[in-house]
Amino acid sequence: MLATGTPAHADTEFHATVEPGVEFPSDPAADLLPADPLLHLLRRATYGPSPASIAEIRKLGPAAWLDRQLNPATIADPVADELLARLPLAGLSIAEIRARVAAGQLKQYDWTPMWQLSFAAPARAIWSERQLYEVMVDFWANHLNVTCPYGDVWDSRTDYDRAVLRKHALGTFADLLKASARHPAMLTYLDNRFSTRLAPNENYGRELMELHTVGLEYGEADVKDAAKLLTGLTVDTATGAYRYDAAGHVAGAVTILGFSHDNATTTGGEAAALAFLDYLALHPSTARRIVTKLCVRFVADEPPASLVTKLVKVYLDNRSAIVPVLRALFTSDEFAGSAGAKTRTPLEDLAATVRILGYGPPPSGTKTFESLYWMARNAGQAPMYWGPPNGYPDVAAAWASPSGLLVRWNFHLSVAAGYWPADLVKPADLLTGMIGARPATYAALIDATAERLLGVRLGPAQTAALAGFYGKTPASPLKSNDPAVGWLYPYLIGMLLNSPNFALR
C-alpha cells in the first residue's frame, strides 16, 4: 500500500532557515513525511520517534534537546540501566571473563557474554533515553567493525564495546582510533596480534588505511611499512590483555602516506605507531571519509558536497572531535532540507516500530530482547553480526529486496498485535492507548491512527483502500463491536507501518 498525506503537525515553534543559494533536489519522498523539523530531527538522531521523545522535544525545543543528547552523561537512563542489569555479562572486561572461567562460572571460549551483548543492543536502541549516543555507538561499531559473536574474540568483544566504542563514541576520532588499535578484539580480528618481526602481517595495516581512515589512497609500499610499524602491538596470551612486545617490533625508518618516522629502536615502536595513528586520524582524507559516512548516516545516501566540505573543516579545526561535527550537521541547511532522503535499515525499522507504538519492556527476564535480536537477524541485520570488516551498509539500495520487505511487514503486525515478542508491555485496550476514544467513522479511525504513527493523514485513495480492507467505505459508521476497533485493529497499525511513509527515516 502506498500511503501519502498531509502533515499533521505542520505548525511548530521551530522553523529551519535556508541560506540563499542553497538548493535541494526535488524529492517526492519528502511529501510522505510531516513537514515538522522536530520530527525530522527525531527520525534521524534517534532510533525513531516515540510518544515520550516527541513530547520531550516539543517541550525543550530542538536546540536544548540536541544539547542534551550530545551530553549523554547528563541524561538519567533508569529503564535501560535496569534492562542491562538483566544481562550482567554484556559489560564484562577481559579480566572479569577470564576470572569467571577460572572460577568455573564460564567455560573456556564461552560465547555467553557476546550473546548478552548482542541481546542488549536492541534493548538499548529501543528503550535508552540516550538515543543519539546509542546511534553513534552503532555507527562506530560498523566503522571499526569486530564481528559479534565471533570465536576468536570470545573474551574481548564485550570489553571492546565498553572500553572503546562506548567510551569514545562522542569523543575524538583520534582517541577512538588509538583505543581500537590497542584493543585485543581488533588486534585479534584483523590479525595484528600475530604480526611479528619475522613475519609482519599486513591485514590490519591495510584495513586501518582503507576502511578506518584515508580510504583507497595507499600503495603496496605503504601497506608494507604500516605492517612493520604496527608490529609489537599484540595480546598477552596469559592474560588476554593488550601489551606492547618490543622484541617483536620491526625497527627502521618508514614512510607511509606522507608520514615519516625514523622508528629507530624496537622499544620506541609503540610511540611511533601511536604517532602514525594520530597522523591518520587528522589526515584530510580521513576527515572527508568520516564526515561523509556521518552524512550518509544522518542526511542522505548521496550527501550534498557542500555539507561534506563544511564538516571536513569542522572536523579538522576541532582535531577530530565528533560533537562539533554532529552539532554542525544537525543545524545545517542541508540537513533541514533532507526529508525523504533516508530509508530505515531493518534494525532501525524494528526499533522504530516498538518506539512509535510506545510499547514497554517486560518487567523481568530477557526473552524479549532475544526475540528482538532474532527478528533483526531474520531481517538481515542482527546487531554487530556483519562478518566482513567494513560493517553493515547504510544505504537504501543495500536493503531493497522483496524478501526483506516481507520480513519487515511480518514483524510490524507481529509486534503491533503482541504475537512476538509476546511479553512487550502494551495498552490494555490498544485502540484507546493509541488514539483515545473510538472515532465515529472509518475515515476518522484511519486518520487518527495514521497521524499517531506516521505524523500525516493519508490521501483519499489510500484511506478508501484501508476502509475497503474492512469491507467498509471511509464514511461508514464505526461501531463499538466492529472488528476494526477490536481484534483487527492491529492490522490497520501493521498496514500503516508497512507504508513507505514509515520506511523513510
**Residues 123, 80: contact at Cβ < 8 Å?**
yes
Return the C-alpha cell found at 293.
Answer: 559516512
pLDDT at 27: 60
**Residue 191 and residue 203 in contact, taking contact as beta carbons nearer than 8 Å:** yes
Encode pLDDT of 161-197 as tens digits: 999 999 999 999 999 999 999 999 999 999 999 999 9
Q: In this predicted model, what pLDDT tens digit does every residue of 400-431 receive, in sequence order?
A: 999 999 999 999 999 999 999 999 999 999 99
Q: Are strands 233-235 and 242-244 parallel, antiparallel or unpaired?
A: antiparallel
The β-bridge partners of 477 are: 441
- Spans of the chain below 70 pLDDT: 1-28
Q: What is the pLDDT of residue 28?
A: 64
- The DSSP-derived string for 187-223 is HHHTTGGG--SSS---HHHHHIIIIISS-TT--HHHH
Say which residue the cell 541524561 belongs to: 75
pLDDT of residue 6: 37
What pLDDT shows up at residue 15?
37
Q: What is the pLDDT of residue 31?
A: 86
pLDDT for 30 equals 74
Other CB atoms within 10 A of residue 110 CB: 16
Q: How far is residue 298 from each of residues 16, 40, 261, 336, measured CA to CA in Å? A: 16, 10, 37, 11
- Are 462 and 399 within 8 A, CB to CB? no
Q: For residues 122 and 124, what is the distance between their CA atoms, to the nearest angstrom?
A: 5
Residue 2's CB: how many other CB atoms inside 10 A?
12
Q: Structural domain boundaries of the chain?
A: 284-336
- Location of C-alpha cell 483519499: 460
Q: Note the pLDDT of residue 414.
A: 98
For 381, the 3-state DSSP assignment is: coil
